[in-house]
Chain A
Amino acid sequence: MYNFYSILPEIYILCNICILLMYGVFFSTFPSLGYPLLNKNFNLLVLQILIFSFLLAFSQTPLNLLNWNNLLISDFFTYYAKLIIILATIGWLLLSFGYSIKEKLNYFEFWILVLLAVVAMLFITQAYDLLTIYLTIEFQSLIFYILASIKRTSEFSTEAGLKYFILGAFASAFLLFGSSIVYGLTGLTNLSDLSKLFLGLIGNEISFNLIIGFIFILVALLFKLSAAPFHVWSPDVYEGAPISVTAFFSILPKLAILGLLFRFLLFTFYDFISYWQSIILIAAFLSILIGTFGAFAQTKWKRFLAYSSINHIGFFLLALLSGDLNSISSVIFYGIIYIITMSGIFAFTVNVNFYAYSKTYQLRYLSNIKGLAKTDPFLAFALTIILFSMAGIPPMAGFFAKLFVLLAAVQVDAFGISIFAVIMSCIACFYYIRLIKNIYFDSVINWKVMEPMHKMSSLILGLSLIGILFLFIDVEMVSIITLLMSIPFLH
């Protein structure tokens, strides 16, 4: 019933958060030490905590267990999703290591918030009840609002946090409203009970109100995923937040929310497939469309990446259409490659600083990378590979991700949207190779000195590069993990 073992990593992190909080509060206000800045110290401590919690999560056995009064579930999906989330957080931590020092992001609370966000995401993957789903998503969202506005002195950051908060509160309200409608009509909150209730229902037997409740929940989840047409917040929030927070938003929460979407669509509300399929289809269509054409007009890296990730979300949803085992595993495959690619590109964007006489400035505009091939050939090469992968050119990892997604779509005869997605990804290619053009072909007028990247982030960049370049040698290895992760969603 109360299985502490199943949430051991979360408990471990929570305990450590308390200790860290006390440590931070005591020491940063210590006059005799001269009010020390604990930033670097905290960073390392958080790294250590994450590594230990990774080991704890790794040592768990992936069993199909319902515990905590059927509020939480642990299965293959949660097992691997936890590992991936913790690993991705470690990667994110390493890549934002240099940034926090350089930008003097000296709030130790930042790292504690990050840890809390990780706990929230770990819980989201396990949530198995409308109640826990609402609580965990709200938990995560609240932390994200604070993270977006962490840079107190910056107008943009505050604005981003506020925008995110207002719009996110709407989405949370939708989620709560939808859940309460479903609860009011059925009297059930547990996902598995609901799925048993809905089993075998045919179109006209489903009450209209129930569909309304379901759509409310779905909209809230699509909002959290920043799928179009609920994407409007994401470019603004991405742009306003400090870039390492942007990296956090774009790398981490997608997988957790996707897991929740799987549970909803493919498990609990599977019999509503005729309703949600068209919603997902429209969302996929719009996401790909807006992601592609939105990115065209951008001149700033952050907004560019925001639209690019909306485009990727479109592909996630495209694969979800068919709603079978293959589609889930292809979504997870895409998700893993998305995390790897985004880690790589953010390792670059977060850490590149230019020095033009008398001041240092961050990479902000897309045109800043002009002439990179001359100033730093290897970095240029790495970025080129990552961009080709994002464009989906074989034999990079991004191609295989798109391949499996399209395969899943073709299996349900969704030819129209597949051809549309293919043509859009061709158009998307145009702006990815525009960046490559900036790197290699363009002549430069004002030469800038590039400061060397932080060691840790170049480590992450290198790892992501290896992942992208050499994944094609053993696609099966990743696909076995994705297949295992998709098993729990079978009926």
Chain B
Amino acid sequence: MLNLEFLNPLILTSLTPLVGLLILFVIPATKESFCRLVALNTACITFLFSLILWIQFDSHTSLFQFSATFDWFPSANLYYTLGIDGISMFFILLTTLLTIICILVSWSSVKFLIKEYLICFLLLEFFLIQVFSVLDLLWFYIFFESVLIPMFLIVGIWGSRERKIRAAYQFFLYTLVGSLLMLIALLTIYFQVGSTDLQILWHYNFTEIKQIIFWLAFFSSFAVKIPMIPFHIWLPEAHAEAPTAGSVILAGILLKMGGYGFLRFSIPLFPEACIYFTPLIFTLSIIAILYASLTTLRQVDLKKIIAYSSVSHMGFVTIGIFSLNLHGIEGSILLMLSHGLVSSALFLCIGILYDRHKTRILKYYSGLMQVMPLFGIFFLFFTFANLGFPGTSSFIGELLVLIGAFQLNRILTFFASIGMILGAAYSIWLFNRISFGTLKTQYFSFFQDISRREFWILLPLTLLILWMGIYPISFLSEMHFSVLSLIEQLF
């Protein structure tokens, strides 16, 4: 008899990358185009399955949907539980979408070890989907850490310069140090409660002092991942040295794991500690917004500019999360999604430039609008999306975050808004320097506008950003109930 439980779209979504990975394993590495096709098809099928998730998703409940539990270690009361709610669903969609884009973008730019490259990406996709769908603290930790392995290899092997090794090291060790403290907290929680199942933990009340200690341990891991300002050193390095697709997935999804961790674990498990630490978070976020924006202004590496602007946007996200009201949290989720699209798109644009001219230093580029009009238009659009222009997705996200913050603290909102102005400053200045002015033909004399493949990569991102900016309710309505129940757990 057919076991219908396996037709659960969540399980299908999580298993498809693994199936593709197994098929890739048996294909000889010399058949490169076939490898690419298999990986692309796997990613597309995964994306379709994840769309089914959205279609079948019931937005009128805050319960976990498509949930499935497997016995993993029943004698120690450890189970493998999957399930999604309004918070995690869009992250899964973002993961599956960006994986397709990553595979497409490296279609011709990756020159060696292609099979291994594709395996790394499918493995990464699998781990990320698990991170966002697993409802068990231990398994969350396992997948949260596992992400390091493929990402470390992607940065280290296919990165572009010699500095990549240093970048890969920093990325690996920063994240590891942060999350190992979380491991101790996790073990203590498991020892105290006797289970790591999230739904059980949500109903457990920790004492205040324990909440504070656990919160700090979790914070060390999530803050490195987001990254908050004192822990952000790895990010510009890793972004700048990773291949384009690596930067896309790093900015698009890996950074969101921290925000997701705050939403999923820190807030519901340690509500009192969250309120206790709100000033700390706000201070760090304001510093992040202002400092990262100002740092962005003086960067000369295109990728580092986007990386620092990510840090500044993530400052908005943390403000939104810890404003602990509906507007703030929904805004921060939307801002994370939007940042996943916008910064990925910007990295793609820079990847396009890098593929053509093999440099990312700002000095060599100027006046590209004259020779690459299509590229210029896309770049203009994404730049405006990055600065939060009305009509784009970032605007909605930042607006909601600011509304949420305004209810708490006006000074905070004032400084955060300054961040928006600075964001406009560095974004437009970046665009100006690249696209306008005279062509520097002493450096480059051959130009080529974006190819058809690149056009079709960028177009869906543009449309999505517009959709999210013009009609955000189709996203927000799915998460209302989940976010409301999250806030209920606080008070």
Residue of A nearest to B188 (CB): A410
Residue of A nearest to B71 (CB): A476
Q: Given A377-B116, A440-B153: A433 and B172 within 8 A (CB)?
A: yes
User: Which residues of B lie under 8 Å from residue A373 when comparing CB positions?
Assistant: 113, 157
Give 17 A-B contacts (CB < 8 Å), ordered by A residue: A394-B142, A394-B143, A394-B145, A418-B184, A419-B184, A425-B180, A426-B177, A429-B172, A430-B169, A436-B152, A436-B156, A437-B156, A440-B153, A441-B165, A476-B74, A476-B75, A476-B76
Q: Measured between alpha carbons, how far is A236 from B141 in the docked complex, in Å?
A: 39
B190 on the interface (CB 8 Å rule)? yes
B377 on the interface (CB 8 Å rule)? no
Closest CB in chain B relative to A479 CB, distance in Å = 7
Q: Which of B169, B176, B177 is packed against the most chain A CB atoms within 10 Å? A: B176
Name B187's contact: one of A410, A433, A479 (CB within 8 Å).
Answer: A410
Q: Given A429-B173, A437-B156: A410 and B184 within 8 A (CB)?
A: yes
Q: Given A418-B184, A425-B180: A479 and B141 within 8 A (CB)?
A: no
Given A393-B145, A430-B169, 18 new contacts (CB under 8 A): A377-B113, A388-B149, A393-B146, A393-B149, A394-B142, A394-B145, A403-B183, A403-B187, A407-B191, A410-B184, A429-B173, A429-B176, A437-B169, A440-B157, A441-B164, A441-B165, A475-B72, A476-B76
User: Which residues of A lie under 8 Å from residue B329 when comparing CB positions?
Assistant: none
Q: Which of A423, A429, A430, A441 is packed against the most chain B CB atoms within 10 Å? A: A441
B148 on the interface (CB 8 Å rule)? yes
**Which A residues have a C-beta under 8 Å from some C-beta of B?**
373, 377, 388, 393-395, 399, 403, 406-407, 410-411, 415, 418-419, 422-423, 425-426, 429-430, 433, 436-437, 440-441, 472, 475-476, 479-480
Q: Are A440 and B156 in contact (CB under 8 A)?
A: yes
B168 on the interface (CB 8 Å rule)? yes
User: Which residues of A lie under 8 Å from residue B181 when comparing CB positions?
Assistant: 419, 422
B491 on the interface (CB 8 Å rule)? no
B446 on the interface (CB 8 Å rule)? no
Q: Measured between alpha carbons, how far is A130 from B168 in the docked complex, in Å?
A: 53
Q: Measured between alpha carbons, how far is A411 from B29 in the docked complex, in Å?
A: 48
Q: Measured between alpha carbons, how far is A407 from B191 in the docked complex, in Å?
A: 7
Q: Are A422 and B180 in contact (CB under 8 A)?
A: yes
Residue of B nearest to A477 (CB): B73
Q: Which 9 A-B pairs have the closest CB atoms?
A: A394-B142, A422-B180, A410-B187, A394-B145, A441-B156, A476-B73, A407-B187, A441-B165, A426-B177
Q: Measured between alpha carbons, how far is A440 from B159 in the docked complex, in Å?
A: 12
Closest CB in chain A relative to B218 CB, distance in Å = 14
Name B184's contact: one of A393, A415, A476 (CB within 8 Å).
Answer: A415
Residue of A nearest to B190 (CB): A407
Name A406's contact: one of B116, B148, B172, B183 (CB within 8 Å).
Answer: B183
User: Which residues of A lie under 8 Å from residue B169 when comparing CB positions?
Assistant: 430, 433, 437
Q: Are B145 and A422 in contact (CB under 8 A)?
A: no
Q: Are A406 and B145 in contact (CB under 8 A)?
A: no
Closest CB in chain A relative to B348 CB, distance in Å = 25
Closest CB in chain A relative to B444 CB, distance in Å = 28
Residue of B nearest to A409 (CB): B187
Q: Measured between alpha carbons, how far is A23 from B141 in the docked complex, in Å?
A: 57
User: Which residues of A lie under 8 Å from residue B148 when comparing CB positions?
Assistant: 393
Q: Measured between alpha carbons, how far is A407 from B73 in the docked complex, in Å?
A: 15
Name B183's contact: one of A395, A422, A441 (CB within 8 Å).
Answer: A422
User: Which residues of A lie under 8 Å from residue B74 when comparing CB positions?
Assistant: 476
